Amino acid sequence: MTMPGTAAIPDRARVVVIGGGIIGTSVAYHLAHLGIADVLLLERDRLTSGTTWHAAGLMATFGSTSQTSTELRMYTRDLYSRLEAETGLATGLKQTGLIELAIEPGRLEEYRRVAAFNRLCGVEVHEISPREVTELFPLARVDDVLAGFYIPADGRVNPVDVTMSLARGARMHGARIIEGVPVTGFLTCRGAVTGVRTPQGDIEAEYVVNCAGMWARQLGELAGVNIPLQAAEHYYLLTEPIDGVDSNWPVLEDPANYGYYREEGAGLMLGLFEPVCAPWQVAGIPADFSFGELPPDWDRMAPYLERAMSRVPVSARAGIKKFFCGPESFTPDLLPIVGEAPELRNYFVAAGMNSIGILTGGGIGRVIAQWIADGRPDVDMTAMNIDRLHRYQANPEYRATRTVESLGQVYETHYPGRSMRTARGAMVSPVHHRLAAQRAYFRDVSGWEGADWYAPEGSEPKAGELSWGRPDWFGNWAAEHHAARTGVILMDMAFMAKFDVQGREAGRLLERISANQVDGEPGQITYTQWLNPGGTLEADLTVTKLAGDRFWVVASDTAHRHVETWMRRHIGDAHAFVTDVTSGYAQLNIQGPRSRELLASVTTADVSDQAFPFRAAAEIDIGFARVLCIRITYLGELGYELYIPAGQAVHVYDRLAGAGRAVDLRHAGLKALSSLRMEKGYRDYGHDIDNTDTVLEAGLGFAVALDKPGGFIGRDAVLAQKARGPLTRRLVQVLVTDPEPLMFHAEVICRNAVPAGYIRSASYGFTLGGAVGLAMIDADEPINQAYLDSGEWTVQIGTAVYPAVTSLRPMYDPQNKRIRM
Ligand SMILES: Cc1cc2nc3c(=O)[nH]c(=O)nc-3n(C[C@H](O)[C@H](O)[C@H](O)COP(=O)(O)OP(=O)(O)OC[C@H]3O[C@@H](n4cnc5c(N)ncnc54)[C@H](O)[C@@H]3O)c2cc1C
């Protein structure tokens, strides 16, 4: 390793990794191990001088219902356990176990669900009694404990040692690591990064990876890259030695009391995740902050500390050796920021670790390196991808406001349906106030205020306590669902990503990236996927041809920037121009068997089935407005989507609401959307299908135009998969036959009592009469309906197991009769 400030820097490298914390060294290690020559890591000061040096080093594989996150954790633990043998440098990994305490029924339910899912992923988890907790951690008070969840192979690691070991492993495989050299800027050319600037000179590079921890946002700004993370105070204390404390005890976590506990120096380390936290240095992290500590705010922390100490009462009596506060980066949704920047090709980011950078660092490094080597990630990155985040989220007031909520969320019970509570109202639909007057209950939808459900007249839209059971508003949701199936509903979808794509070659561009044929006759909408050359999904959306040189592309909120980037990056020199018109248009959907009647009553256009068939798109008049009307549905009924210039949205809404009185129009929210679309088996990218699924496995082969002239990106991969024969991995619809239980996500599904997969997303099928979801199933034999019908299917929900039925075709209206009424 080169000593700070003494190295001559090279003038080029294949990959420049910025930052020598756990993440940067892991990225360099994995790039080098993939045989990528000429990897250069630049560290501003010394390795570990940012956040890594003071991490508590907890290693937990338990706790997530994300397959990707669980795999990252498991890979990391495995890597750290074999690193010393490879590099000769110890990591300090001690697999003494980890116990999560559940003291409230809601958390017990959560941990049972998580445990089942984690076991499916290969984590060894045991539910243990309070007595067993004290046997493993004798100083813990357990009078109020309902259960512990014990993971014997988890434990702790020394963050500095593991970073040094990764650095040596990187160097042993040819990577260069230079300390004392800050990156101060970037070189770019035609939308791609081409190198970095340093005080010692420029370095050309094919790829740059920003692993600058809490500095990553400021550094990203120098290249126009949006990395909306924010540092926040993060605390632990160390006690003087305590009699009887044993270094072989497991780590103990008591989220309900904000604390974690482990042995340190014959005493205890007591760490805190307080529910309301404090952002640090919103204006920017000082460039010279190294091995830094923050002055602890005792007054703010005292109540939380008291609670945490009550779990291990001896900690309150022991002397305090050190009360430590250090900054860690948090992100708007508590998920890391990983991947290639939408603003700049070949500029990768791995930052915003939300307090789990050590225990996921190995996996994050592996993914980034593999992504660079292969051009796309081999795990589902939809939830972590940097392109899910929006530029406004880097706004200082937004960061300061949202971050207050983030750290505390780590230790909350993760009830389904919890919405972010801070930084609300950042984006609202043009008809927001009208929906509020209809008693909409709003939740955060990628930063938009989305109407989730509506309270009946005379009552307030109050959500009540979060729970795993039926919410107070279950009946309102059911009524909205039934109204869509039997009458007509109005749904605000302003948050959908909308793009106006124009130009002489816009059709050619979209035809090339779409698996379906989208450039046919004007006036038609087409449902399509965009595939990468490997045949897996990049996007799931609609393309409407408005005119020979004009298209309307609509995708879901979470895919907004991914879709935009995918289009822009494929334009090349074509005469095609993409304009994001999301905020310029309202989207009001009227859906249900009576939607035609409603529409006909507000427009002079002929909207009969003959004149305006399924998939038709045309401008129509409503009141004083001109509206793009598309006959399409995402919930399985006759229905129309109306795209209205924002300035006319209230006017059109009022016309619809007024005319709606004659047809019993009901407002419906996003809860109804999810239950309706799930009954129909409609997919939602980033929720039940993702970048690891092929279009055939996702059950979307019907939307692929294999023979269209000129082909499309991914066609060869689709053909190759077809040639390999029947599929042994497929997305199936799952219905629990008992009407009582609810499914949310990650419930394990079994065929003949053998795990076959898990529920990727779920809702309640009010028409089908039970919880319904979509699960990706793996088998040793072809999966077809006969295979599904010949098995006995069950779903594990908490500790109970329920019979289920499975289907490849939608269980609701498999013949699509209702949408073609
Ligand atoms: C009190 C506390 C306890 C924690 N406990 C745990 C735990 O138990 N388990 C766990 O998994 N995680 C824990 N964490 C979180 C963990 O420490 C972080 O997630 C992790 O260290 C982040 O690593 P990083 O590499 O992203 O950032 P950093 O460690 O901050 O590394 C970034 C590096 O980039 C360098 N850099 C910045 N700008 C430049 C530039 N312009 N040019 C070159 N170099 C630059 C910095 O000097 C720094 O070394 C804890 C955090 C805190 C604060």
Closest Cα to atom 25 of ligand 1: 21
Beta bridge partners of 58: 156
The CA distance from 351 to 228, in Å, is: 10
Instruction: Tell which atom from ligand 1 comes closest to the C-alpha of 22.
Output: 25
Q: How far is the CA of 235 from the centre of ligand 1 (A)?
A: 14
Q: Is the CB of 24 under 6 A from ligand 1?
A: yes
Strands (E), 446-584: 448-454, 489-492, 497-502, 524-531, 537-547, 550-555, 577-580
Amino acid letter, residue 325: C
Q: Does 233 contact ligand 1 (Cβ within 6 A)? A: no
Pocket probe mutation, ligand 1, options 40, 45, 52, 354, max atoms within 8 Å of Cβ: 52
Closest C-alpha among 209, 232, 477 to residue 350: 209
Ligand 1 site, residue 325, Cβ cutoff 6 A? no
* Torsional class of 748: left (φ above 0), alpha (ψ -120 to 50), beta (otherwise): beta
How is residue 484 written in tokens? 């869509």
CA–CA distance, 787 with 790 (Å, rounded to integer): 5
> Of 199, 441, 237, nearest to 323 (Cα)?
237
Task: Spell out the alpha helix ranges (H) of 375-522.
Answer: 396-409, 432-437, 474-486, 506-513
Q: Is 45 in the pocket of ligand 1 (CB under 6 A)?
A: yes
pLDDT reported for residue 7: 66
Interval between CA 170 and ligand 1 midpoint (Å): 18
Contact yes or no for 419/441 (Cβ under 8 A)? no
Distance between Cα 327 and ligand 1 center (Å): 9
Q: Is the CB of 54 under 6 A from ligand 1?
A: yes
Nearest C-alpha to atom 19 of ligand 1 is from which residue? 357
Which amino acid residue places its CA nearest to atom 18 of ligand 1?
357
SS3 446: coil
Q: Is the CB of 50 under 6 A from ligand 1?
A: yes
Distance 362 CA to ligand 1 centre (A): 13
In whole angstroms, what is the distance from residue 67 CA to residue 60 CA?
A: 14
**Does residue 156 line the site of ligand 1, with CB under 6 A?**
no
- DSSP code of 123? -
Which class for 416: exposed (0-12), middle (13-18), buried (19 or more C-beta within 10 A)? middle
Residues sharing a CB contact under 8 Å with residue 711, sequence separation 6 or more, in sequence order: none
Note the pLDDT of residue 788: 98
Q: Which amino acid is at 41?
A: L
Atom of ligand 1 nearest to the CA of 52: 21
Ligand 1 atom with least separation from CA of 357:
19
Query: Could you give the CA distance from residue 116 to residue 114 in angstroms, rounded to a whole number?
Result: 5
pLDDT of res. 5: 52
Distance 179 CA to ligand 1 centre (A): 16
Q: Is 223 in the pocket of ligand 1 (CB under 6 A)?
A: no
Protein residue with its CA nearest to atom 48 in ligand 1? 50
Distance between CA 517 and CA 515 in Å, rounded? 7
Query: In 3D, which of 78, 42, 39, 172 has the Cα closest to residue 361?
Result: 78
Distance 116 CA to ligand 1 centre (A): 31
Residues with pLDDT less than 70, the chain: 1-7
114 lines ligand 1 (CB under 6 A): no
Question: Does the C-beta of 430 come closer than 6 Å to ligand 1?
Answer: no
- Taking the CB of residue 707, how many other CB atoms lie within 10 A of it? 8
For ligand 1, say whether the CB of 336 is within 6 Å of any of its atoms.
Answer: no
Instruction: Report whether residue 23 contacts ligand 1, using a CB cutoff of 6 Å.
Output: yes
Question: Does the C-beta of 262 come closer than 6 Å to ligand 1?
Answer: no
Q: Residue 562 corresponds to which tokens in the numbers above?
A: 């991914």
Ligand 1 pocket residue status of 272, Cβ below 6 Å: no
DSSP 208-229: EEE--GGGHHHHHHTTT-----
CA 471, chain centre distance (Å): 24
Amino acid at 4: P
Residue nearest to atom 37 of ligand 1 (CA): 212
Q: Does 683 contact ligand 1 (Cβ within 6 A)?
A: no
Ligand 1 nearest atom to the CA of residue 42, by list position: 43
- Return d(Cα 178, Cα 7) in angstroms, integer: 7
Transcribe 163-213 into DSSP letters.
HHHHHHHHHHTT-EEEES----EEEEETTEEEEEEETTEEEEEEEEEE--G
Q: Give 14 Cα–ligand 1 centroid separation in angstroms.
A: 24
Output the pLDDT for position 654: 98
* Residue 681 in contact with ligand 1 by CB distance below 6 A: no
Nearest ligand 1 atom, CA 25: 25
Q: How far is the CA of 344 from the centre of ligand 1 (A)?
A: 24
Measured between alpha carbons, how far is 737 from 745 in angstroms, rounded to an integer?
17
Give the per-residue pLDDT at 3. 52
Distance (Å) from CA 642 to ligand 1 centroid = 47
Residue 214 CA to ligand 1 center (angstroms) comes to 7
User: 456 in helix, strand or coil?
Assistant: coil
Identify the residue whose C-alpha is closest to ligand 1 atom 20: 357
301 three-state secondary structure: helix
**Nearest atom (ligand 1) to Cα of 328:** 53
Ligand 1 lined by 213 (C-beta under 6 Å): yes
User: Is the CB–ligand 1 distance for residue 236 below 6 Å?
Assistant: yes
- Taking CA atoms only, the protein residue closest to ligand 1 atom 4 is 55
Return the ligand 1 atom nearest residue 327 CA: 53
Distant-in-sequence, close-in-space partners of 743: CB < 8 Å, separation ≥ 6: 736, 759, 762, 763, 771, 772, 773, 795, 797
Q: Is residue 57 within 6 Å of ligand 1 at its C-beta? A: yes
User: Of the candidates 118, 67, 72, 159, which has an alpha carbon nearest to the alpha carbon of residue 366?
Assistant: 72
Best residue among 215, 258, 269 to mutate for probing ligand 1, ranked by most atoms within 8 Å of CB: 215
The answer to whether the CB of 58 is under 6 A from ligand 1 is yes
Query: Which pair of tokens denotes residue 47?
Result: 């390795």
